[in-house]
Amino acid sequence: MATFGSNPRSLTGRSPAYGFRFFVYAVICIVLMFYDQRGGWLESVRGAMSAIAYPLQLAVNSPSAAGRWIRSNFTDRAQLTAENEALATELRQLKLKSLRFSALERENADLRRLQEPLPPLINKTLIGEVVSVELSVLRQRLLINRGTANGVKKAQPVITADGVLGQVLRVGPWSSEIILITDAEHALPVEVLRSGLRTIAVGVGEADRLTLPYVPLNSDIREGDQLVTSGLGGVFPQGLPVATVTSAKRDPSQSLAHILATPTSRIERDRHVLFVWFTPTHPAAAGPASVESEQSVGSGTYQPLPVPRATPTTPPAASAATPRAAPDTTAPRE
């Protein structure tokens, strides 16, 4: 039962004024939506409301944005250290690959140079790889990974893409020892390419120097001349580059000139060598020449001891060997 001063309510417990208000508001909203869709009357109102609400949106979203910024700028140190180590390892691996690729490129270039056209006298070649190097004043030697199993034989010539390197000194089944032309115990018959002068190049125990100790003062040789193998002795094929003359000094008080040359083949640049087989144009003689200097160095091969001169095979005539005895004119005593 309603008391005095209380609001009248319907049977549902709600005031009739609330329902009327809802109806009025709904009608207004429908009318506004209809005209806004047709004419866009509320665009300016929405823009003004967005401008007013934007600072509030920033204020609401700022804590989460600040948290994301802090997490991105203050990442765990251990994670960053691990990433740096992984990147450093990858960089080292890439550098090693780059070095290997560069080495392979140089090796391929050297092998291509070794396969360049050789003199027609050369019948067969074999590529070998340097295993060890011994460069001292007393010994200029190499160890190559080729031996008798590959057909290598003693005294066989060895060259590079730049010229003559040396020859086989000792040979085993799978390796061979090479004596370089710069070894103090090696001598090589050479020829001056410009003038055709023939002489002997002798090593001095230095990797970048040869000497020509048997050149007369009036010989036609000068700085810059190219020395090639003469083919004498039958050990090296003719025409292979040997050295370049770097010094040609003449002292009138001496009978021989002082000639120095630099080998064209440099072992510090080459990793691969070439064993050659060829048909000699000047077969080796039975003995060295009668010149004393050539007797001591041999005929282009490694000969630590002098080779004796060749002896005649027929006995000399009696008249040339001993004088005929005078007849005995004294009669024996009776």
Instruction: Count H helices and E strands in the chain, helices first.
Output: 5, 12
Name the pLDDT band for 331 (thresholds 50, 70, 90). very low
Q: Is the pLDDT of residue 189 over 80?
A: yes
pLDDT tens-digit profile of 99-147? Answer: 777 767 776 776 666 666 566 678 888 989 999 998 888 889 999 999 9
- Type of residue numbered 304: P
- pLDDT: is 193 or 292 the higher one? 193
Q: Is the pLDDT of residue 249 over 80?
A: yes
- Type of residue numbered 17: A
pLDDT tens-digit profile of 31-72? Answer: 877 777 766 666 777 777 777 877 887 777 778 777 777 776
CA angle 151, 157, 159 (to 5 degrees): 110
Of the given ranges (52-66, 103-117, 204-218, 240-254), which has the lowest mean pLDDT?
103-117
Three-state DSSP class for 244?
strand
Question: Which tokens go with 300?
Answer: 């282009």
pLDDT tens-digit profile of 74-94? Answer: 766 667 788 888 888 888 888
Q: Is the pLDDT of residue 317 over 60?
A: no
Domain regions of the chain by residue span: 16-61, 122-297
Residue 32: what pLDDT?
Answer: 77
Residue 8: what pLDDT?
Answer: 52
DSSP state of 298: -
- pLDDT: is 173 or 111 the higher one? 173
Is the domain defined by 122-297 classed in CATH 2.40.10.340?
A: yes
Q: What is the mean pLDDT of the chain?
A: 76
Q: Which of 208, 294, 213 has its CA nearest to residue 244?
A: 208
Q: Is the pLDDT of residue 298 over 60?
A: no
